[in-house]
């Protein structure tokens, strides 16, 4: 990208739209900032005053529970005023365009938009059209990107593994439709993970995926061999409809993470999942609830990472 | 009206002329080249110093959006836009609302166009009713009403047998059939070329296979039916190669490429600019190079603008939700000149791709400037450059992927049927 719409001319974070093309320095700065927020949730008063007086709007053009809630908590812990709009159920059905919605909220003196939309590129589109003082955070756009999820995943990996330069990471499942996988791949390769693998049937991989810097596997046992980190992706039920897969049962048998398949990974490998999980489809409960699972800590870290992103975008860090 | 165009460099690819020569127009025809005919007194003299005088451009794909889609554009706005771009004849695809599937619609459209200044308008009729791909239209009636060929726009056929019947029926009357090869199932849901860029951006892809699979079917059926086939807007390297082989085997086939595909590739998509959302999608750099080369070696016969004005409400949306299409009739000449300059193509050869050759595909007697020919001319300054802005365009559609480009070639005067239809102040 010749001019990165996410950065100011002096290289500071202006919007967070994708991790593709963000320098490693910025990613590390976000992770380091997130560390400073790790204690906040455990205090009696779970708040810091960094974003006092700032108005943050959650614009969810597509339903979400977990992401919306963690953004909400993160903003409140920073003392911001938060308004959540489930636009999927309101103005869009009345025919209001995205740009009209954005203009209306700008008139209400917004400082930041957290955007989720079913179309790839929607956050870029909104960022291009907002007033210059407004920051846009992409909370998931189509199949394109989910940068805060990618960041919380590398934050989790750093917490458990310490460094990135000596890791093998496998991402398993529906990469084709996954904005999470794309953001993970960019974060991992940018931070210097030497070997990122994707494991999936050919029907669930985007064409030319190897050009994103990953090694492709179609066999779980081979793909999981000696990895340090296993990231499972959620399988949507509708994938069975477009003839991408025959059945959830066959998928689980071939690509579901069971204790036997996990045994191929290193003994201290960690297991991650962006949630919500389909137990018995992509992951066996024994693994999801097992000693190697870090799925719940991921959720906790997600709040600290989102606090870090929001405070950096508003130019105020501790 | 008698017009004297003086001091210009006349390029008439059909007659192999490229030399300084004055042109004299009398009563809608070219009266003389070089020296004035006896007793000639001009009502109007055009100084074409430093300019090229060439046949008016013939554009094989221009949507005027009438009937039914006037909120996007109107005959008035788009015919003026075409004339300002030196275009003097244009073919209208049938994808209006309703589609051009009834003689009455075609007659009305011809009537509306005839009473407006601007280019000659040649409707392309729908092959099937409502473009649903199920029942044939009354092609003979439509031809009588003024359709010069039949096409299916971007709509799919219900099944392959109906496509074969459409080709057979058209071949019965020797009506040309224009098809854009696209397998609707392989393309289904896609908004961008299925390649590394779309994969990275998470945009649902349209594979090159969507073109080549359909092309293999169409070529086989065309050979069987003997129909006069024109392939619209090739976009892939493999597609160019298949047409090259078909031509070598003696199949009656011509084809065009859009100016967009000569200059743009998937690499231009990285900012999710919805002005880059058009169909077929801008493909890989390798595909683009093959189209450029195929046009140069004559495998591809003509360049069209594939003009598709879209209103802001339908374009100012996230990429995948935006209506596909790019406005471009005014940029056909500049983009042709840019292609020629970048690929060492002689000007006369380049201009043939937007004059003589598309006129032959249309089956009309324009596109050349011999004495006695219809006086459809374009006078342009090949050295002058301009920057593309929404303000610099006359089309009602602001949706061009070339915004901000500096392009060569400024049209000074457009003459259609001996009338001054456009003069740049």
Q: State pLDDT tens for residues B90-138.
A: 999 999 999 999 999 999 999 999 999 999 999 999 999 999 999 999 9
User: Of B306, B376, B381, B417, which one is the catalytic site residue?
Assistant: B306
Q: Give the neighbor-by-neighbor strand order of the sheet with B17-20.
A: B17-20, B9-12, B52-55, B377-387, B406-416, B419-423
Q: What is the mean pLDDT of chain B?
A: 96
Contacts of A115 (CB under 8 A, 6+ apart): A59, A61, A122, A123, A126, A136, A137, A138, A139, A141
**What whole-number distance in Å separates Cα of residue B340 and Cα of residue B354?**
12
- From the list B241, B235, B236, the residue with the least C-alpha distance to B219 is B241
Residue A93 confidence (pLDDT): 55
Q: Residue B420: left if φ>0, alpha if ψ -120 to 50, beta else—which one?
A: beta
pLDDT number for residue A189: 98
Tens-place pLDDT, residues B59-76? 999 999 889 888 888 899
> What is the pTM assigned to this prediction?
0.94
pLDDT in tens, B247-300: 999 998 999 999 999 999 999 998 899 999 999 999 999 999 999 999 999 999
Distance of CA B222 to the CA centre of its chain: 22
What pLDDT score was predicted for residue A98?
Answer: 84
A contacts of B317 (beta carbons < 8 Å): 97-98, 125
Contacts of B126 (CB under 8 A, 6+ apart): B94, B99, B100, B101, B137, B142, B150, B151, B152, B153
Q: How far apart are CA A140 and CA B178, in angstroms?
A: 42
Whether the Cβ atoms of residue B51 and residue B381 lie closer than 8 Å to each other: yes
Low-confidence ranges of chain A (pLDDT < 50): 1-2, 318
| B194 CB within 8 Å of a chain A CB | yes
Residues above pLDDT 70, as percent of chain A: 96
pLDDT at B44 over 90: yes
Helix (H) / strand (E) element for A144: namely none
CA separation (Å) from A46 to A49, A75, A306, A309, B218?
10, 11, 15, 18, 67
In the DSSP assignment, the letter for residue B226 is T
Burial grade of B278 (CB within 10 A; 0-12, 13-18, 19 or more): buried
In three state form, how does the secondary structure of A164-215 look? Answer: CCCCEEEEECCCCCCHHHHHHHHHHHHCCCCEEEEECCHHHCCCCHHHHCCE
Helix axes A179-190, A147-161, angle to 10 degrees: 50
- Give residue for tokens 């006349």: B10
Active-site residue B306, yes or no? yes
CB-based burial, B295-325: b 16+ in 10 Å, e otherwise: bbeebbbbbbbbbbbbbeebbbbbbbbbbbb
Nearest to A173 by CA among A260, A271, A89: A271
Q: Residue B176 contacts by C-beta under 8 Å, 6 or more apart in sequence?
A: B148, B149, B150, B170, B227, B228, B229, B230, B361, B363
Which residues of A lie closer than 8 Å to B, measured between beta carbons? Answer: 1, 5, 20, 97-99, 117, 119-122, 124-125, 129, 141-145, 179, 182, 206-209, 211-212
Binary contact (B194, A143; C-beta < 8 A): no
**C-alpha dihedral (A160, A164, A142, B272), degrees to nearest 10:** 150
Return the structure tokens found at B305.
Answer: 């603008």
Residue B104 CA to chain centroid, in angstroms?
Answer: 24
Q: For residue B73, give how far its alpha carbon lies from the nearest alpha carbon of chain A (Å).
A: 21
From A166-180, A239-253, B156-170, B354-368, the region with the lowest mean pLDDT:
A239-253
From the list B195, B202, B320, which residue is nearest A208 (CB)? Answer: B195
Nearest-CA neighbor of B415 among B40, B168, B124, B46? B46
């Amino acid at each position: 990208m010749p001019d990165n719409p996410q950065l100011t001319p002096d290289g500071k974070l202006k919007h967070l739209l994708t991790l593709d093309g963000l320098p490693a320095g910025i990613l590390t700065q976000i992770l380091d900032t997130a560390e400073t927020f790790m204690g906040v949730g455990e205090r009696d008063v779970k708040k810091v005053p960094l974003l006092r007086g700032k108005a943050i709007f959650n614009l969810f053009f597509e339903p979400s529970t977990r992401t919306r809630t963690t953004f909400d908590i993160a903003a409140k812990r920073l003392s911001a005023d938060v308004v959540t709009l489930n636009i999927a159920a309101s103005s869009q059905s009345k025919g209001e365009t995205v740009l009209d919605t954005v203009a209306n909220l700008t008139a209400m003196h917004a400082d930041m938009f957290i955007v989720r939309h079913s179309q790839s590129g929607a956050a870029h589109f909104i960022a291009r059209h907002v007033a210059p003082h407004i920051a846009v955070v992409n909370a998931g756009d189509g199949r394109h990107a989910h940068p805060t999820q990618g960041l919380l995943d590398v934050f989790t990996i750093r917490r458990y593994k310490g460094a990135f330069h000596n890791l093998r990471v496998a991402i398993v499942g529906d990469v084709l439709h996954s904005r999470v996988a794309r953001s993970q791949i960019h974060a991992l390769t940018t931070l210097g993970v030497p070997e990122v693998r994707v494991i999936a049937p050919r029907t669930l991989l985007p064409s030319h995926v190897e050009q994103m810097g990953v090694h492709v596997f179609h066999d779980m046992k081979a793909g999981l061999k000696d990895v340090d980190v296993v990231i499972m992706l959620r399988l949507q039920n509708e994938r069975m409809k477009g003839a991408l897969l025959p059945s959830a049962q066959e998928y689980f048998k071939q690509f579901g993470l069971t204790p036997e398949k996990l045994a191929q990974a290193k003994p201290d490998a960690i297991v991650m999942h962006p949630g919500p999980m389909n137990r018995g489809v992509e992951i066996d409960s024994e693994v999801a609830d097992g000693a190697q699972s870090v799925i719940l800590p991921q959720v906790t870290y997600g709040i600290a990472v989102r606090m870090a992103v929001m405070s950096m975008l508003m130019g105020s860090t501790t | 009206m008698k017009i004297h165009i003086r001091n210009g460099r006349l390029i008439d690819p059909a007659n192999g002329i490229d030399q300084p020569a004055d042109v004299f127009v009398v009563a809608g025809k070219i009266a003389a080249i070089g020296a004035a005919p006896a007793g000639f007194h001009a009502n109007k003299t055009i100084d074409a110093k430093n300019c090229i005088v060439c046949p008016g451009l013939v554009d094989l794909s221009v949507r005027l959006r009438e009937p039914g889609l006037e909120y996007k554009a109107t005959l008035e706005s788009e015919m003026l836009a075409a004339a300002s771009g030196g275009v003097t004849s244009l073919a209208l695809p049938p994808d209006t609302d309703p589609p051009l599937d009834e003689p009455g619609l075609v007659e009305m459209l011809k009537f509306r166009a005839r009473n407006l200044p601007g280019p000659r308008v040649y409707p392309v009729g729908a092959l099937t009713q409502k473009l649903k791909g199920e029942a044939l239209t009354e092609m003979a009636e439509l031809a009588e009403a003024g359709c010069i060929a039949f096409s299916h726009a971007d709509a799919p056929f219900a099944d392959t047998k109906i496509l074969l019947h459409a080709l057979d029926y058209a071949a019965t009357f020797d009506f040309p059939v224009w098809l854009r090869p696209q397998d609707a199932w392989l393309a289904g849901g896609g908004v961008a070329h299925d390649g590394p860029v779309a994969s990275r951006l998470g945009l649902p892809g349209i594979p090159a296979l969507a073109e080549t699979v359909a092309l293999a079917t169409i070529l086989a059926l065309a050979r069987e039916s003997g129909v006069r086939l024109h392939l619209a807007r090739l976009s892939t390297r493999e597609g160019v190669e298949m047409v090259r082989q078909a031509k070598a085997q003696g199949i009656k086939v011509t084809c065009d490429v859009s100016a967009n595909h000569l200059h743009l590739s998937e690499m231009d998509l990285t900012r999710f600019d919805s002005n880059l959302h058009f169909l077929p999608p801008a493909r890989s750099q390798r595909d683009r190079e093959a189209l450029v080369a195929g046009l140069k070696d004559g495998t591809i016969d003509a360049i069209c603008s594939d003009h598709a004005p879209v209103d802001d409400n339908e374009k100012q949306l996230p990429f995948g939700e935006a209506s596909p299409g790019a406005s471009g009739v005014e940029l056909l000449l500049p983009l042709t000149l840019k292609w020629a300059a970048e690929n060492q193509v002689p000007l006369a050869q380049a201009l043939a791709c937007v004059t003589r050759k598309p006129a032959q595909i249309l089956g009309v007697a324009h596109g050349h400037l011999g004495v006695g020919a219809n006086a459809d001319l374009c006078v342009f300054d090949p050295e002058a450059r301009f920057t593309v802005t929404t303000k610099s365009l006359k089309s009602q559609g602001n949706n061009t992927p070339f915004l901000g480009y500096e392009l060569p070639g400024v049209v000074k005067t457009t003459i259609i049927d001996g009338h001054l239809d456009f003069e740049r102040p």
